[in-house]
């Protein structure tokens, strides 16, 4: 298992591992559908606004940075490429990458403006990813 260090999430690791073990592929990536940063307008042919949706979920899924890898993934790694480039693209092309959908909390922490809310949640004890933390 590995995870990026620039985000926080309340991924159920046991469920993620069970999903990975169930499909017998080399790799699993956790995915989320993030909210849009902006409100979205649905515009008719005559340019009238049919609907306004404030920050809807994105149509596609994004990499949440939490993975399960089998040892065979090492064959996909090389010294000069980022994981998101050649390795994950090749695993996907070879049918060896599965997506574990996460519907819970996820927050990237880069750039700085995205880290403010998670830091505040941690400080006030409301961090949903801090599942090991209990009140005394």
With respect to residue 65, please indicate whether it lies within any of the assigned structural domains. Answer: yes
Confidence at residue 57, expressed as pLDDT on a 0 to 100 scale: 73
pLDDT tens digits, one per residue of 26-48? 999 999 988 777 788 889 899 88
Q: What is the CATH number of the domain that holds 63?
A: 3.90.550.10
With respect to residue 134, please indicate whether it lies within any of the assigned structural domains. Answer: no
Q: Structural domain tally of the chain?
A: 1
With respect to residue 37, please indicate whether it lies within any of the assigned structural domains. Answer: yes
Q: Which two tokens stand for residue 109?
A: 């922490």
With respect to residue 20, please indicate whether it lies within any of the assigned structural domains. Answer: yes
Main-chain dihedrals φ then ψ at residue 36, nearest 5 degrees = -65, 150
Cis-peptide into 111, omega within 30 deg? yes
Domain that holds residue 41: 2-123
pLDDT tens digits, one per residue of 95-114? 999 999 999 999 888 777 77
What is the distance between the alpha carbons of residues 16 and 100, in angstroms, rounded to a whole number?
Answer: 7
Main-chain dihedrals φ then ψ at residue 13, nearest 5 degrees = -60, -35
Confidence of residue 132 (pLDDT cuts 50, 70, 90): low
Confidence at residue 136, expressed as pLDDT on a 0 to 100 scale: 45
**Kind and range of the H or E element at 115?**
helix 112-123
- Cα 119 off chain centre by: 19
């Amino acid at each position: 298992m590995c995870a990026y260090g620039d985000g926080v999430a309340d991924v159920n690791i046991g469920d993620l591992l069970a999903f990975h073990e169930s499909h017998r592929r080399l790799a699993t990536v956790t995915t989320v559908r993030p909210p849009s940063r902006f409100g979205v307008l649905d515009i008719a042919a005559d340019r009238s606004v049919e609907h306004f949706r404030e920050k809807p979920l994105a149509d596609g899924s994004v990499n949440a940075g939490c993975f399960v890898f089998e040892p065979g993934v090492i064959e996909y790694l090389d010294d000069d490429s980022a994981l998101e480039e050649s390795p994950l693209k090749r695993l996907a092309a070879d049918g060896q990458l599965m997506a574990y959908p996460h519907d819970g909390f996820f927050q990237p922490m880069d750039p700085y403006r995205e880290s403010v809310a998670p830091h505040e949640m941690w400080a006030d004890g409301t961090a949903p990813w801090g599942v090991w933390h209990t009140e005394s």
